[in-house]
Amino acid sequence: MGVAIGSLINDCKLKFDTKDLKNKRIGIDAYNILYQFVTTIRGIDGQPLKNEQGKITSHLNGLFYRMLNLLSTDANFTFIYDGISNELKQKTKQERRDKRTLAKDKFDEATRTGNLEDMQKYARQVTTLDATIIQESKELLSAMGISYINAPSEAEAQISYLTSIGKLDYTVSQDFDCFLFNSPNLVRNLTASGKKKVPYKNIYVDVSPEIINAECIFNKLELTREKLIWLSILIGTDFNDKIEGVGPKTALKLVKEYNSFEDIEKYLKEKGKNINFNYKEVEDIFINPHIDKNPEIITSKFDREKIEKILIEKASFSQERVKSALDKFIKEKDEKDKQKTLGKWF
**How many of the other CB atoms lie within 10 Å of CB of 305?**
8
Quote the pLDDT of residue 123: 56
CATH number 3.40.50.1010 given to 6-218: yes
Secondary structure of the chain as H, E, C letters: CCCCCHHHCHHHCEECCHHHHCCCEEEEEHHHHHHHHHHHCECCCCCECECCCCCECHHHHHHHHHHHHHHCCCCEEEEEECCCCCHHHHHHHHHHHHHHHHHHHHHHHHHHHCCHHHHHHHHHHHCCCCHHHHHHHHHHHHHECCEEEECCCCHHHHHHHHHHCCCCCEEECCCCHHHHCCCCEEEECCCCCEEEECCCCCCEEEECCEEEEHHHHHHHHCCCHHHHHHHHHHHCECCECCCCCCCHHHHHHHHHHCCCHHHHHHHHHHCCCCCCCCHHHHHHHHHCCCCCCCCCCECCCECHHHHHHHHHHHCCCCHHHHHHHHHHHHHHHHHHHHHHHHHHHC
| Kind of pairing between the strands at 25-29 and 170-172 | parallel
Q: What are the C-alpha distances in Å from 120 to residues 99, 198, 258?
A: 16, 13, 45
Instruction: For the domain made up of 223-287, give the CATH fold.
Output: DNA polymerase; domain 1 (1.10.150)
The predicted structure's pLDDT at residue 50:
85
**Parallel, antiparallel, or unpaired: how do β-strands 185-188 and 210-213 relate?**
antiparallel
**Who has greater pLDDT, 103 or 189?**
189
pTM: 0.88
Residues sharing a CB contact under 8 Å with residue 174, sequence separation 6 or more, in sequence order: 2, 29, 32, 33, 36, 188, 189, 192
**Residues 89-144: tens digit of each pLDDT:** 777 666 666 666 675 666 556 566 766 665 566 556 667 789 999 999 999 999 99
Say what the pLDDT of residue 297 is: 97
Give me the half-sphere count of Cα atoms (radius 13 Å) on the Cβ side of residue 335.
Answer: 7
Residue 211, Cβ density class (10 Å: 0-12 exposed, 13-18 middle, ≥19 buried): buried
Write down the domain spans for the chain.
Answer: 6-218, 223-287
| % residues pLDDT > 90 (the chain) | 65
* Number of C-beta neighbours around residue 320 at 10 A: 9
| Percent of all residues in the chain with a pLDDT value above 70, rounded to a whole number | 82
Residue 274: pLDDT band (50, 70, 90) is confident
**30-40 and 131-143 are packed helices; what angle lies between their axes, rounded to 10 degrees?**
100
